[in-house]
Structure 1
Amino acid sequence: MKKKTSFSTKGNNAAVGPLSIQRMLPNRYANKVGPFVFLDYVVPVVKETITRNGMGAHPHRGIATLTYILQGEVEHFDSAGNEAIIRSGGAQWMKAGTGIIHDENLNYDSQTESKFIQGFQFWINLPAKNKAEKPAHIAVQAGEVPKKELPDESGWLKVIVGNYEELSSKIPNYSRQFLYHIQLKAGKNLSIEIENEIEAAAFLPTQNAMLNNTEFEKGEFVEFDRSAGEIEIKNTAQTTIDILLFGGEEYKEPVVAEGPFVMNTQAEIANAYRDFYAGKYGEIKLAEPK
């Protein structure tokens, strides 16, 4: 049985410097999908200049941030002393835990001739017990992302978060969660079974696609019901298409989100701000250039 669609919507447009952003989650219908409470899509754009000093240092607490870059280069640095650069196809994961300050440089990929930028940032809400853990960071380069070629030369599936068949991401799971990047060639299809009580959504970044026999437009965010069932993706176009499919088990603890903090109570939000202004998150200290 195919899963039913709960709703579909398009994001709100915003600008961060030269970058055009579509905020897909939260939206007017949903504040979360499984543990995912935030999704920004950086639409394809040419970036001619190099950012050196970060895009704006800011704190986080209670979540893990995930940056997945399709095209471009992301430099990460934070107050726990983590620094890393990922390039096209890689991901940066940062557990904010008890509190951290971080910043990023988002530039074109210096190892290619393309100056296009395209990518995503997710926030993954942590269970209450994990919000009190120390911050952590993992950089996953493109070649380290688990990838599976689909049958009948249909395309491929990458596991950014979670598991798929024999594939497992390096990014930790604190609950049942998944984030797949699927690419389907013209005329091909793929079906994925979703368990009962698992929340799931799809995002179509640049092309239309058929999801369970209904055509959705590029730029649409589509959420499905929680009954067990199949999500069938068909590519009826003449070109290759990309789909993000993500979700997980319902986050059942209370959720209080304010600014860059996602906690379980309003008192915890107040404490997050108090600790930040008291300087308890530390400061970013960049390593001296070699």
Structure 2
Amino acid sequence: MKKKTSFSTKGNRADIGPLAITRFLPNRYTDKVGPFVFLDYVAPAIKEAISKNGMGAHPHRGIATLTYILQGKVEHFDSAGHTGEIRSGGAQWMKAGNGIIHDENINYDAQTNNKIVEGFQFWINLPAKNKAESPAHIAIQAEEIPRKKLENQNGWIKVIVGNFEELSSKIPNYSEQFLYHIHLEIGKQFSIVVDEKIEVAAFLPTKSAKLNEIDFEGGEFVEFDRETGEIEIKNTSEDSIDIILFGGEEYTEPVFAEGPFVMNSLGEIADAYRDFYAGKYGQIQLK
């Protein structure tokens, strides 16, 4: 049995400077998909000049942030002393834990033949027991992300978070969760069976596709029902397409989100702000 669509949306604009950003989570229909509570998509854009300053340092607490850059280069700095750089196809994960200040600088990738930037930022809600842990950071280059070819030359799949068959990501799992990048050639398809306990959504960045025999346009975010069933993706475009498929088990603890903090009570939100203004998250020290 194929899973049914719960809703679809084209998100809301949330531009930052020259970058055209669309926010898909939270949205008018849901605040989360499994442990994922936030999704911004940076649509393909030409960035002519190299920026030396970041996007703006800001705090986080109670979550892990995940940046997946399709095209471009991202530099990371944080108040725990972590730094990192990823290029086209790479990902970086930062556990904010009990509080951190971080900044990212997004530029084009000089190692490619274009000046396009395109990518995603997700927030992954941490279980209550992990929200008080120390911050951590992992940078994973494109060649380090598990990837395999699909059967019958259908395309390929990359595992950014979680597991798929024999593939396993380096990013820690605090609950059952996954984030796949699926690439399908013209006229090809991909199918996966999802258990009833798993919440799952798909995003079509730029090209249209047929999901369980329903046509969706590029730029659409689609969430499915919570019954056990199959998700079948067919490439009906005149070119190869990319799909982001993600989700995980339902986050059953209370969720209170305000600004850059996601906690389990309003009191914890107040504590997060109090500690930030008291300087307990430290400062970014650039060398």
User: Under a length normalisation based on structure 2, what TM-score does the superposition of the two structures give?
Assistant: 0.99
Q: Secondary structure at the match of 1:48?
A: coil
Task: Report whether the alignment pairs 1:50 with 2:50.
Answer: yes
Aligned residue runs from structure 1 range 143-182, under 5 A = 143-182=143-182
- Aligned pairs, number: 287
1:22 and 2:7 matched: no
Structure 2 equivalent of residue 254 of structure 1:
254
- Looking at structure 2, the residues matched to 183 and 219 of structure 1 have their Cα atoms a distance apart, in angstroms, of 16
Query: Which whole-Å CA distance do the structure 2 matches of 1:269 and 1:13 have between them?
Result: 26
Distance (Å, rounded) in 2 between the aligned partners of 1:31 and 1:64: 16
Q: Deviations over 1:138-194 (max 9, x none)?
A: 000000000010000010000000000000000000000000000000000010111
CA deviation string 1:7-47 (max 9, x = no partner): 11111012211100000110000100000000000000000
Q: Whole-Å Cα distance in 2 between the matches of residues 61 and 45 of structure 1?
A: 30
Q: Secondary structure at the match of 1:254?
A: coil
The aligned residue for residue 193 of structure 1 is 193
Report the Cα offset of residue 231 of structure 1: 0.2
Question: Which residue does the alignment assign to 1:222?
Answer: 222
* Aligned counterpart, 2:101: 101
Task: Indicate the SS of the match to 2:152.
Answer: helix
Q: Distance in 1 between matches of 2:203 and 2:222?
A: 6
* Distance in 2 (alpha carbons) for counterparts of 1:225 and 1:166: 26
Equivalent residue number for residue 39 of structure 2 = 39
| Structure 1 position 53, deviation (Å) | 1.7
Deviation of residue 286 (structure 1)? 1.4
**Counterpart residue number, 2:78:** 78
CA distance in 1, matches of 2:110, 2:279: 35
Aligned with 2:70: secondary structure? strand
SS for the counterpart of 2:171 is: coil
Q: Aligned with 2:20: secondary structure?
A: strand
Query: What's the % identity of the aligned pairs?
Result: 74
Q: Please name the residue that 1:11 is paired with.
A: 11
The 2-side partners of 1:214 and 1:15 are apart by: 30
Unaligned runs of 5+ in 2: none
Q: In the aligned structure 2, how far is the partner of 1:39 from the partner of 1:246?
A: 11
CA distance in structure 1 between the aligned counterparts of 2:51 and 2:134, rounded to whole angstroms: 29
Distance between the aligned counterparts of 2:220 and 2:137, measured in 1?
30
Rounded to whole Å, the distance in 1 between the matches of 2:197 and 2:92 is 28
Report the alpha carbon displacement of residue 62 of structure 1 after superposing the two structures with TM.
0.1
Task: Report the Cα distance in structure 2 between the residues aligned to 1:189 and 1:63, rounded to whole angstroms.
Answer: 34
Taking the aligned partners of 2:253 and 2:114, their CA distance within structure 1 comes to: 44
Asked if residue 133 in structure 1 is aligned to residue 133 in structure 2, the reply is: yes
Partner Cα distance (1:43, 1:89) in 2: 15
Question: Which amino acid in structure 2 is aligned with residue 215 of structure 1?
Answer: D
Secondary structure at 1:16 match in 2: coil
Counterpart of 1:219 in structure 2: which amino acid? G
SS class of match (2:199): strand
Q: Alpha-carbon deviation of 1:100?
A: 0.1
Q: CA deviation at 1:113?
A: 2.1
Q: What is the CA–CA distance in structure 2 between the aligned matches of 1:52 and 1:285, rounded to whole Å? A: 15
Q: Structure 1 counterpart of 2:74, which letter?
A: V
- The CA distance in 2 between the partners of 1:284 and 1:53, in whole Å, is 13
Whole-angstrom CA distance in 1 between matches of 2:231 and 2:148: 18
- The offset of 1:236, in angstroms, is 1.3
What's the Cα RMSD here? 0.5
Q: For 1:247 and 1:140, how far apart are their aligned partners in 2?
A: 20
Structure 2 partner of 1:119 = 119
For the residue of structure 1 that corresponds to 2:180, the secondary structure is strand
- What residue number does 2:69 align with? 69
